[in-house]
Amino acid sequence: MTAVWIVLGVVALAAIYLWATYNGLVTLKVRTDEAWSDIDVQLKRRHDLIPNLVETVKGYAAHEQGTLQKVIEARNVAMQAMSGGSSKQLAEAENALSGTLKSLFALSESYPDLKANQNFLELQRELTDTEDKVQAARRFYNGNVRDLNTKIQVFPTNMFAQKLGFTSREFFEAAAEEKENVQVKF
């Protein structure tokens, strides 16, 4: 009779461990999904601000159409990636958009009247704030991906994670050109 209780105790402990492991993995997966959603929200905000900024700049820099067109095209590619692309495609499209936005702000340096325009200044502040929020959301996402991937890969959770359907996620990484030093020329 004692052996039966020992076996039942071991089975109960194993079940409790499996239950706790599964719940821990689900919690990390949901947090990672939430973090990705936060990135989506900030990218949507960014995409909504860009047309207003471009229209404001157009009024001052009509002959700089090439720069403005590149920003619009990069925004459209990013929106397409947002609606149906993989996380890697979205990261690449958003990194390209960040690069074109830098050229748009550099363009503003050539137009002192534009830099003083209240609409432009407010949109630039909003976009800068949004960029900061995108970066924070990316860091939050990467932190959650780190936690999820670690939990999936450490022993003894790794014995159950894949069998329970949990897979590692990719980190949101900056493009190579964003990692280079910014050239400031006077």
- What domains are there in the chain, each with its CATH number? 25-173 (1.20.1440.20)
pLDDT at 182: 44
pLDDT at 58: 67
Compute the mean pLDDT over every residue in the chain, rounded to the nearest whole number. 81
Task: Indicate if the alpha-carbon torsion angle 41, 42, 43, 45 is positive or negative.
Answer: positive
Q: Which residue has the higher pLDDT, 167 or 173?
A: 167
Query: In this structure, what DSSP letter does residue 180 have?
Result: S
- Average pLDDT score over residue span 172-180: 65
Query: In this structure, what DSSP letter does residue 182 have?
Result: P
CB of 148 within 8 A of CB of 21?
no
pLDDT in tens, 105-156: 776 666 666 555 677 677 778 888 888 888 899 999 999 999 999 999 999 8
Contacts of 51 (CB under 8 A, 6+ apart): 72, 75
pTM exceeds 0.95: no
